[in-house]
Chains A and B, each alone.
Chain A
Amino acid sequence: DSGVTQTPKHLITATGQRVTLRCSPRSGDLSVYWYQQSLDQGLQFLIQYYNGEERAKGNILERFSAQQFPDLHSELNLSSLELGDSALYFCASSSGGAVTDTQYFGPGTRLTVL
């Protein structure tokens, strides 16, 4: 158990809908990273937050957004969902803001868009 929690574990929804994925980092960690993992794309970095502020952006679509709250939990919002958005979404946390800090991954949320 990495100490990172993600909810929900599974999510099934329809095209065009909007969903919110939630992540609670390990106790004391200030950084939260979001990743998307699909069979054809592998693990893709989406976005990083550090202590409430956006730190870095990766391959995140404009239909996706995220935020980190004062209690350091984070939410990833996915809107106007398409079939291709079906994937595993992972959250990871680290103690500092540097990408070389060890990232601890949560169990993931499996999103299925029908």
Chain B
Amino acid sequence: EDQVTQSPEALRLQEGESSSLNCSYTVSGLRGLFWYRQDPGKGPEFLFTLYSAGEEKEKERLKATLTKKESFLHITAPKPEDSATYLCAVQVNDYKLSFGAGTTVTVRA
């Protein structure tokens, strides 16, 4: 059973072209939703944790928001260095995170 679905699978942006990534989840009683960035051949790098609907967090050009059924990662005026795969994960029980397949973002100069 898919608990975390990310869309789109891939996103190609022009530098400065803002866009949003979606992470929808089916876990009931969400206790935590996490966003990670992963560069090719490297380990995921933690970005944000969101706990409740309505919560928002920002870091540089990235802003994560959370509703009762999904989370969005907004990229404002992206730069080529924002190119990466963005992973979303949800807490499914006391001990486990379930990761989505990721959205690969490519930003062209």
- Where the two chains meet, the residues of A that have a C-beta atom closer than 8 Å to any C-beta of B are 2, 4, 42-45, 48, 55-56, 58, 90, 92, 98-100, 102-108, 110
Contact = CB atoms under 8 A, between A and B. Distances in A.
B38 to A, nearest CB: 8
Interface of B: 31-32, 36, 41-46, 49, 87, 89, 91, 93-102
B95 A48 contact: yes
A55 B95 contact: yes
A108 B42 contact: yes
Contacts, number: 54
B43 A45 contact: no
Contact of A42 (B42, B45, B99): B99
Contacts of A4: 43
Contacts of B101: 42
B46 A106 contact: no
Contacts of A99: 32, 91, 93-97
Nearest to B87: A43
Contact of B49 (A58, A100, A106): A100
